Amino acid sequence: MGFEPYRSPSTGRPVRAVLFDTFGTVVDWRTGVAREVATFAAAHGAALDAHAFADRWRALYQPAMDAIRSGQRSFTKLDTLHRENLDRALRHCGIEPALVPGETLEELNKSWHRLPPWPDSVDGLATICRHYIVGPLSNGNTSLLLDMARNAGLPWHVIIGSDMTGTYKPLPEAYLRTAGFLDLEPGEVMLAAAHNNDLRAAREAGLATAFIARPTEHGPGQVADLAPESDWDLVASSIPELARMLGS
Amino acid sequence: MGFEPYRSPSTGRPVRAVLFDTFGTVVDWRTGVAREVATFAAAHGAALDAHAFADRWRALYQPAMDAIRSGQRSFTKLDTLHRENLDRALRHCGIEPALVPGETLEELNKSWHRLPPWPDSVDGLATICRHYIVGPLSNGNTSLLLDMARNAGLPWHVIIGSDMTGTYKPLPEAYLRTAGFLDLEPGEVMLAAAHNNDLRAAREAGLATAFIARPTEHGPGQVADLAPESDWDLVASSIPELARMLGS
């Protein structure tokens, strides 16, 4: 129908696929995890600040992947890292995980599979879907991203989990192998993310970039990633706004 | 809402994902390829029987993958094998591929990305989608399967291309790695296919099985795979019929 795809000034290429960071950009991990932590705490009579617990659990995320990025540890999928970090976070709060039924912890670990979308996510993605390939570009494993999509109603065309690329962002291979599976040049792929460091790495790998502000990802006191820190191709305050900028 | 998933008598497990062979089972490759071959032949003044050419091109498919299955050749994606086989099929018909513009052949090669669904496929898949994970389990590469899905309107939840598993059916790893990406036991995955040999290999790998008869896949004179050759878990004459058998 003569649709003209957005052409990235930085890559000089028309964008064919718009891929999204998920945790924080498309889904609200803090609210979602805290909700399930609160249920767990109530059921087990544990005194936990659910949001603080979610923050602590999340704080162990990057260090766990660092061991893999540096080659100290072979690729291990995010579900496993989350599960290990859950034990650590519980111990930090004085709860011995060995005293909690294994299935209960497995179920709590799956809270990362059931994160709620930001209110604008589903509509925005559905609009962009009309003219671009749309999918996640996340450190989540495939089964996590698939469950997340089915629960939140995210209309991905394709899911390329980190267990398919066998690496974690922000290593360049995470972006490049994803583009490779799509048979696209890096410059034909746009990463949309709420995190400047993710966009920095994507740009270095040759991708187009879009910043989406998510100023409450970390709760009311958020200090990082409140604004774009570079001249990303596009800067939007929501996914529908990004959709308009993409001409979708 | 209390949906009881189908339980495979052979695996003893409830089925969580119903994955489909694509070429022949979900899409009509012979009609789709022949249509684009006819257009190519008319544009280039070539005297070609379009359906015979599609059959010849397709006949080179299994031998090309055999070299990879046996380890003689490292994994090479199906788009590349199709492209090599196109040259061979053209030469067989007295057309020297070097004399045809490269982009024309690339475009013709992409006919495998644009195959039409069988008339019942889209509705049937959409019904099964309501209660099961639905995706392809095909020797196609991810970008091929993604284009096919967007063109034909196939509502896959997830696409795990052969370039993600790094192997070709009917090798057991093709089935097992696919189940692994979904974090499912093999017995929780059902392969639905129009080909008895595919189902045989899937069953040996531990999957549940469904035969869908496609008696005109090879045209009016088809002799193979007209009927189930074993006691597959389910036998259907269409995808909507399979959906009913699965309780969807």
* ipTM score of complex: 0.96
Angle at B114 between CA B110 and CA B116, to 5 degrees: 150
* Closest CA of chain A from B165, distance in Å: 8
Assess whether B127 and B107 both reside in one domain: no
Question: What pLDDT is attached to residue B48?
Answer: 93
Please indicate, yes or no, if residue B2 is contained in any of the structural domains.
no
Please indicate, yes or no, if residue B6 is contained in any of the structural domains.
no
**Total tally of structural domains belonging to chain B:** 2
From the list B197, B231, B192, the residue with the least C-alpha distance to B213 is B192
Q: Which residue of A has its CA nearest to B80?
A: A183
Question: What pLDDT is attached to residue B103?
Answer: 97
Please indicate, yes or no, if residue B11 is contained in any of the structural domains.
no
- What does chain A come to in residues? 248
Single residue among B85, B113, B141 that ends a domain in this structure: B113
Chain B residues in contact with A142 by the CB 8 A cut-off are 158, 160, 181-183
Q: Which residue of B has its CA nearest to A157?
A: B146
Assess whether A185 and A232 both reside in one domain: yes
Give percent of chain B above pLDDT 90: 97
Assess whether A138 and A22 both reside in one domain: yes
CATH code assigned at A187: 3.40.50.1000
Nearest CB to B181; choose among A142, A181, A183? A142
Assess whether A133 and A241 both reside in one domain: yes
B130 touches chain A (CB under 8 A): no
Nearest CB to B143; choose among A141, A150, A183? A183
Given a contact cutoff of 8 angstroms between Cβ atoms, the answer to whether B79 and B144 are in contact is yes
Query: Helix (H, G, I), strand (E, B), or coil: what is residue B158?
Result: coil
- Are residues B150 and A157, on separate chains, in Cβ contact within 8 Å? yes
Question: What pLDDT is attached to residue A45?
Answer: 87
Please indicate, yes or no, if residue A204 is contained in any of the structural domains.
yes
Chain A residues in contact with B184 by the CB 8 A cut-off are 143
- Are residues B133 and A150, on separate chains, in Cβ contact within 8 Å? yes
Residue ranges of B 32-61 with Cβ closer than 8 A to chain A:
none
Assess whether B158 and B215 both reside in one domain: yes
Nearest CB to A133; choose among B146, B183, B184? B146
Single residue among B78, B98, B113 that ends a domain in this structure: B113
Please indicate, yes or no, if residue A202 is contained in any of the structural domains.
yes
CATH code assigned at A66: 1.10.150.240
Q: How many helices (H) and strands (E) does chain A have?
A: 11, 5
pLDDT per position in chain B (248 positions), as tens?
589 999 999 999 999 999 999 999 999 999 999 999 999 999 988 889 999 999 999 999 999 999 999 999 999 999 999 999 999 999 999 999 999 999 999 999 999 999 999 999 999 999 999 999 999 999 999 999 999 999 999 999 999 999 999 999 999 999 999 999 999 999 999 999 999 999 999 999 999 999 999 999 999 999 999 999 999 999 999 999 999 999 98
Chain A residues in contact with B158 by the CB 8 A cut-off are 142, 146, 158-159
Assess whether B175 and B186 both reside in one domain: yes
Assess whether B172 and B200 both reside in one domain: yes
Sheet holding A208-212, edge to edge: A133-136, A17-20, A189-193, A208-212, A234-236
Rounded Cα–Cα distance for residues A191 and A177 (Å): 13
* Closest CA of chain A from B146, distance in Å: 7
Mutate to test the interface with B, among A77, A142, A185 (most CBs of B within 10 A): A142
Please indicate, yes or no, if residue A1 is contained in any of the structural domains.
no
Assess whether A44 and A88 both reside in one domain: yes
Single residue among B113, B134, B154 that ends a domain in this structure: B113
Quote the domain boundaries for residue A232: 17-28+115-245
User: What's at A206, amino acid-wise?
Assistant: G
Chain B residues in contact with A146 by the CB 8 A cut-off are 133, 157-158, 182
* Closest CA of chain B from A143, distance in Å: 5
Given a contact cutoff of 8 angstroms between Cβ atoms, the answer to whether A191 and A207 are in contact is yes
Assess whether B225 and B105 both reside in one domain: no
Assess whether B213 and B236 both reside in one domain: yes
Question: What pLDDT is attached to residue A1?
Answer: 55
Burial grade of B114 (CB within 10 A; 0-12, 13-18, 19 or more): middle
Please indicate, yes or no, if residue A4 is contained in any of the structural domains.
no
Question: What pLDDT is attached to residue B2?
Answer: 82
| pTM for the whole structure | 0.97
Q: Which residue of B has its CA nearest to A166?
A: B164
Question: What pLDDT is attached to residue B1?
Answer: 55
Assess whether B98 and B132 both reside in one domain: no
A130 touches chain B (CB under 8 A): no
pLDDT per position in chain A (248 positions), as tens?
589 999 999 999 999 999 999 999 999 999 999 999 999 999 988 889 999 999 999 999 999 999 999 999 999 999 999 999 999 999 999 999 999 999 999 999 999 999 999 999 999 999 999 999 999 999 999 999 999 999 999 999 999 999 999 999 999 999 999 999 999 999 999 999 999 999 999 999 999 999 999 999 999 999 999 999 999 999 999 999 999 999 98
Please indicate, yes or no, if residue B52 is contained in any of the structural domains.
yes
Assess whether A194 and A208 both reside in one domain: yes
